A and B are shown apart, each in its own frame.
Chain A
Amino acid sequence: MNTVSSGLLFHGADWDFSTLQRIHDSCADIAVSELGLDTYPNQIEVITAEQMLDAYSSVGMPLYYKHWSFGKHFAHHEAFYRKGLRGLAYEIVINSSPCISYLMEENTATMQTLVIAHAAFGHNHFFKNNYLFKQWTDAEGILDYLSFAKNYVAYCEERHGRAAVERTLDAAHALMSHGVDRYPGKKKLDLPGEEKRARERRVHAEASFNELWQMVPTGPAKSTSDLDVERRRALLGLPQENLLYFLEKSAPRLHAWQRELLRIVRHIAQYFYPQGQTKVMNEGTATYVHYRIMNSLHQTGQISDGNFLEFLQSHTNVVFQPEFDDPRYAGFNPYAIGFAMMQDIERIVTEPQEEDRAWFPDIAGAGDTMGVLRHIWENYRDESFVSQFLSPSLMRRMRMFHLHDDPEETAGIRVDSIHDERGYRRIRRALARQYDIGSIEPNIEIVDVDLAGDRRLLLHHTVQDGALLSEVDARRVLQHLANLWSYDVMLREIDSTGTLLKEHVVVPHQIAAAA
């Protein structure tokens, strides 16, 4: 066959399944031998544009429970797609084992190669090796869990009515961003285990009851109210920032199935937690990997010049970063900055300047590009990655500058620093903070419950930089929270000095348990 004799993987734009197989094998070859990637086994699925839209609306997952909000997103995406305002992604990749990549059937052979290199190797390696994903997600089990979730939600709808399930899910979705454990190593509380322990204690106390001990004098008693607060907080595991977790375990009037629904939403939120923190790194890795693989394929004569130009064209589109005054500007493009940083690291490792040696003594001139990059991909997230590896030369190249917007400053917005000697560190710190999940999400905790009184739930929002919660949305979310909790909820916004800035009180609409 012509293809084989000339060494090209394919001719022109057409492809079939054997082409895909050949492309995958060639990419795998380069990924393993040249880049030293370590990936989950791949599963490549060819889908239509409509299926891509379907996948969009369920955050890319192949199966998901039913909820109107997904329909809303679907309708929204579809409207844009139909009008031609927005193209579809070339691929979607799922952090699972085997790693599933969706390929659109409309893609040309070159695009399929690009997508396979990007998703099936770049993202795949990142999913398997990055510490956040290792820590928080279970790639083996996610599809089974989603399938369970889907069936369970369907079962609940049948058993308890669609409206009741929808109400619970609505509320859970509103709290989803505050339904993740941010730190590992929390002590595992599980309800049955807890109950068992309490039962055993009670049995023991009953068995070894002796009236004599009641008369033994004890030390100066803590005041009962102090004791109460302490015991209550210990019992309820307060303060607690995982709102969904707290409700699941402690909301007094929820049914078991409602708790299970909260748990499902919480687990899914937790699964996506690392993805939000690694956008730049994840896309940077994948883009860097596809760039290397495609170049390698071209150099070894497996891709023709014409097809390589086609690749370069889409690659350039993907890594395009409009400047801030460009109408197309919509924040930093994670592909652009990620890819630029990876390339910059490659430059530092192989041909460092004096400046780089001063800034990055560990890696400058280390020689082993892939070793350094693999280490970075494994051990950083966006925030730490930017604050460690954004180099002055890249800041100069992208002409970054830092604005400080203080509402109390009437003269306007101050240009705090620019890409010069004085500004490098400040720009880097500020950009890293933009990617810090801790400064993106408001810090909200449940601090107390008035168990003896009206069971009011008390939350604190620790205000940073004077940014209060958006009033309307906060009330809506609190309404959902109150409906689940079934009693009043109060949110206090407190700044770092402990001054109370604002207070929201919400009364539950309906008692969730009665639904």
Chain B
Amino acid sequence: MHIVDRRLNPSSKSLENRQRFLRRAKALVQDAVKKSSQDKDIKDVLEGAEVSIPLDGMHEPRFHREGGKRDLVLPGNKKFVEGDMLPRSGEASGRPRDPGEGDSEDSFRFVLTKEEFVDLFLDDLELPDMAKRRLAEAEQDGIRRAGYMTSGSPANLAVGRTVRLAMARRVALGRPTRMAIAELETELLDCTDEKRRQAIQAEIEALKAKARRIPFIDPIDIRYRKFEPTRKPAAQAVMFCLMDVSGSMTEHMKDLAKRFYMLLYVFLTRRYRHVEIVFIRHTDHAEEVDEQTFFHGPASGGTLVSSALEAMHAIVRSRFRPEDWNIYAAQASDGDNSYSDSELTGRLLSESILPVTQFFAYLEVSEADSEIFGSPDSSIWSLYQRLRADGAPLSMRKVSSRSEIFPVFHDLFHRRRGQESIVP
């Protein structure tokens, strides 16, 4: 007998079959993905999800019969005697209906992995107007560190690495330390016994000779830093995520905004490898924060949208030259802004921000039960409406419940034909 341990074999032998299946069922699965994503938490969605597609189309037909006279033998008779008639549809008479194969009759359920799900979901989305600005630009050459090498110019000497190697070699070859020799020398000074003195002297000589033979730093220890030319991708984009975290934003609204950004984040990090993301949150003052703080850090205060725009403008000026970067921004807010700020905001947007951005999306979040169409437009909404009327590349949407996030997102970033970046 043989025992074979297959556990270490490459797993997911079925992966290819699975991919073939998904490819074949793509349209169906995509529909199902959209449907299932609507009423799910984004976090859950990104964990992958169970979807259910109609069996039609994925069906594997076989010849089989139906109807006709049937004979059936069953176990567990309790009260029937020969000749009894059992009513056909009666549950009480207990004819089991369709034993066994009930699960896959009209739909087919299965679980998608995170990657598969996001892939399918984002399949027809695209960052708008990508690479419009610097499309012609050739790839740039640059250099980057690439480990160590044994030859190079003295300027690139890697001292730390060289000394480390030298020490290892000295320890390995047993080079006497200076301290050991010094110890012997002090002993020699104090020693009176002639024989012992000679012995010590001989030992000192031997050690010194060995120390000379084994150099402190040998040419084989020397390392140089290695640099390697690389090409930097040309179509680089930066995405600014602006969010109002002031006191007027309720938890629910923050939640909506967070969801939108999380989705955006997944979308960007997935679709474009060279996209920088800057998170700016603001109350009555703005600050650039890391992702964690952006989504989860507590903050409260008043609302000055202009502060965020100013911060963004400053960051653009200092780090992302509009000549080299495609700049995108998405702003989420409840629409509140202090009246005195409107003018400044409008000016900043139309003079500093919009001229350098390719796309500016504004997401207005509101309470779940609020009537969107009944309420008057918020101050930011009406301001932005005005700007858009002047032809600014500005997209805006209102969102009040979780289920709308996906459709809105999908709508905003839908792959478009031609020039219609401004969505009504």
**A70/B17 contact (C-beta < 8 A), A45-B6, A468-B67 known:** yes
Whether, in the assembled complex, B60 has its beta carbon less than 8 Å from a beta carbon of chain A, the answer is yes
Whether, in the assembled complex, B296 has its beta carbon less than 8 Å from a beta carbon of chain A, the answer is no
Q: Is the CB of B71 within 8 A of A405?
A: yes
Bound: A80/B102 CA distance, A: 13
Residue of B nearest to A48 (CB): B7
Q: Is the CB of A415 within 8 A of B84?
A: yes
Stretch touching chain B among A202-210, A251-259, A323-331: A323-331
Whether, in the assembled complex, B391 has its beta carbon less than 8 Å from a beta carbon of chain A, the answer is no
Q: Is the CB of A473 within 8 A of B19?
A: no
Whether, in the assembled complex, A219 has its beta carbon less than 8 Å from a beta carbon of chain B, the answer is no
Residue of A nearest to B70 (CB): A405
**A51/B6 contact (C-beta < 8 A), A403-B72, A415-B82, A418-B77 known:** yes
Q: Is the CB of A470 within 8 A of B77?
A: no
Whether, in the assembled complex, B153 has its beta carbon less than 8 Å from a beta carbon of chain A, the answer is no
Residue of A nearest to B8 (CB): A48
Residue of A nearest to B23 (CB): A68
Stretch touching chain B among A53-61, A293-301, A348-356: A53-61
Bound: A229/B9 CA distance, A: 57
Q: Is the CB of B71 within 8 A of A404?
A: yes
Whether, in the assembled complex, A422 has its beta carbon less than 8 Å from a beta carbon of chain B, the answer is yes
Which residues on B sit within 8 Å (CB–CB) of A25?
1
Q: Is the CB of B110 within 8 A of A76?
A: yes
Q: Is the CB of B4 within 8 A of A46?
A: yes
Q: Choose from A24, A46, A441 the contact partner of B5 (Cβ within 8 Å).
A: A46
Whether, in the assembled complex, B145 has its beta carbon less than 8 Å from a beta carbon of chain A, the answer is no
Bound: A27/B18 CA distance, A: 39
CB-contacts of A447-473 with B (<8 A): 463-470, 472-473
> Quick one: CB contact mask for B11-41 with A, threshold 8 Å, 1 for yes?
1111011111111110000000000000000
Q: Choose from B60, B83, B93 the contact partner of A174 (Cβ within 8 Å).
A: B60
Whether, in the assembled complex, B68 has its beta carbon less than 8 Å from a beta carbon of chain A, the answer is yes
Bound: A258/B9 CA distance, A: 32
Residue of A nearest to B65 (CB): A467
Nearest-CB distance from A120 to chain B (Å)?
8
Which residues on A sit within 8 Å (CB–CB) of B374?
none
Whether, in the assembled complex, A147 has its beta carbon less than 8 Å from a beta carbon of chain B, the answer is no
Which residues on B sit within 8 Å (CB–CB) of A416?
71, 82
Whether, in the assembled complex, A260 has its beta carbon less than 8 Å from a beta carbon of chain B, the answer is no
**A430/B71 contact (C-beta < 8 A), A69-B60, A325-B96 known:** yes
CB-contacts of B341-387 with A (<8 A): none
Q: Is the CB of A466 within 8 A of B69?
A: yes
Which residues on A sit within 8 Å (CB–CB) of B100?
330-331
* Interface size of A in residues (CB-CB distance below 8 Å): 100
Whether, in the assembled complex, B99 has its beta carbon less than 8 Å from a beta carbon of chain A, the answer is yes
* Interface size of B in residues (CB-CB distance below 8 Å): 66
CB-contacts of A322-368 with B (<8 A): 322-326, 329-332
Q: Is the CB of A174 within 8 A of B61?
A: yes
Bound: A444/B64 CA distance, A: 11
Bound: A79/B86 CA distance, A: 37
Residue of B nearest to A404 (CB): B71
Bound: A423/B12 CA distance, A: 52
Nearest-CB distance from B20 to chain A (Å)?
4
Which residues on B sit within 8 Å (CB–CB) of A403?
71-74, 86, 95
CB-contacts of A477-496 with B (<8 A): 477, 480
Q: Is the CB of A415 within 8 A of B80?
A: yes
> Quick one: CB contact mask for A390-407 with B, threshold 8 Å, 1 for yes?
000000001111111111
Q: Is the CB of B67 within 8 A of A476?
A: no
Q: Is the CB of A412 within 8 A of B73?
A: no
Nearest-CB distance from A346 to chain B (Å)?
21
Nearest-CB distance from A169 to chain B (Å)?
11
Nearest-CB distance from A1 to chain B (Å)?
20
Bound: A402/B70 CA distance, A: 10
Bound: A96/B50 CA distance, A: 37
Residue of A nearest to B88 (CB): A412
Whether, in the assembled complex, A427 has its beta carbon less than 8 Å from a beta carbon of chain B, the answer is yes
Which residues on A sit within 8 Å (CB–CB) of B298?
none
Nearest-CB distance from B60 to chain A (Å)?
6
**A402/B11 contact (C-beta < 8 A), A68-B20, A330-B99, A331-B99 known:** no
Whether, in the assembled complex, A183 has its beta carbon less than 8 Å from a beta carbon of chain B, the answer is no
Q: Is the CB of B76 within 8 A of A325?
A: yes
Q: Choose from B5, B60, B77 the contact partner of A401 (Cβ within 8 Å).
A: B77
Bound: A361/B140 CA distance, A: 94
Q: Choose from A177, A398, A427, A468 the contact partner of B66 (Cβ within 8 Å).
A: A468
Which residues on B sit within 8 Å (CB–CB) of A173?
60
Nearest-CB distance from B104 to chain A (Å)?
7
Whether, in the assembled complex, A44 has its beta carbon less than 8 Å from a beta carbon of chain B, the answer is yes
**A415/B83 contact (C-beta < 8 A), A58-B14, A69-B21, A82-B111 known:** yes
Nearest-CB distance from B201 to chain A (Å)?
63
Whether, in the assembled complex, A42 has its beta carbon less than 8 Å from a beta carbon of chain B, the answer is yes
Residue of B nearest to A176 (CB): B62
Whether, in the assembled complex, A414 has its beta carbon less than 8 Å from a beta carbon of chain B, the answer is yes
Residue of B nearest to A44 (CB): B3
Bound: A413/B86 CA distance, A: 5
CB-contacts of B136-161 with A (<8 A): none
Bound: A72/B108 CA distance, A: 9
Q: Choose from A322, A413, A465, A476 the contact partner of B68 (Cβ within 8 Å).
A: A465
**A431/B80 contact (C-beta < 8 A), A44-B2, A75-B21, A466-B67 known:** no
Which residues on A sit within 8 Å (CB–CB) of B99?
329-331
Which residues on B sit within 8 Å (CB–CB) of A477?
61-63
Whether, in the assembled complex, B87 has its beta carbon less than 8 Å from a beta carbon of chain A, the answer is yes
CB-contacts of A5-60 with B (<8 A): 17, 20-21, 24-25, 28, 41-48, 50-51, 53-54, 57-58
Whether, in the assembled complex, B109 has its beta carbon less than 8 Å from a beta carbon of chain A, the answer is yes
**A442/B65 contact (C-beta < 8 A), A45-B4, A68-B24 known:** yes
Nearest-CB distance from B110 to chain A (Å)?
3
Q: Choose from B3, B80, B93 the contact partner of A17 (Cβ within 8 Å).
A: B3
Whether, in the assembled complex, A419 has its beta carbon less than 8 Å from a beta carbon of chain B, the answer is yes
Whether, in the assembled complex, B58 has its beta carbon less than 8 Å from a beta carbon of chain A, the answer is yes
Q: Is the CB of B86 within 8 A of A174?
A: no
Whether, in the assembled complex, B179 has its beta carbon less than 8 Å from a beta carbon of chain A, the answer is no
Residue of A nearest to B83 (CB): A415
Q: Is the CB of A324 within 8 A of B96?
A: yes
Nearest-CB distance from B44 to chain A (Å)?
14
Query: Can you sample 19 A-B contacts with CB below 8 Å?
Result: A24-B3, A42-B2, A45-B5, A50-B12, A58-B17, A324-B77, A398-B76, A399-B75, A412-B87, A414-B83, A414-B84, A415-B82, A466-B69, A467-B68, A469-B65, A470-B65, A473-B61, A473-B62, A476-B59
Known pairs A74-B14, A329-B99, A473-B62 / 6 extra A-B pairs, C-beta < 8 Å: A58-B14, A71-B17, A82-B111, A399-B78, A433-B71, A441-B63
Sorted nearest first, the 10 A-B pairs with minimum C-beta distance are A323-B76, A467-B68, A71-B21, A71-B17, A75-B110, A476-B61, A324-B74, A68-B20, A330-B100, A466-B68
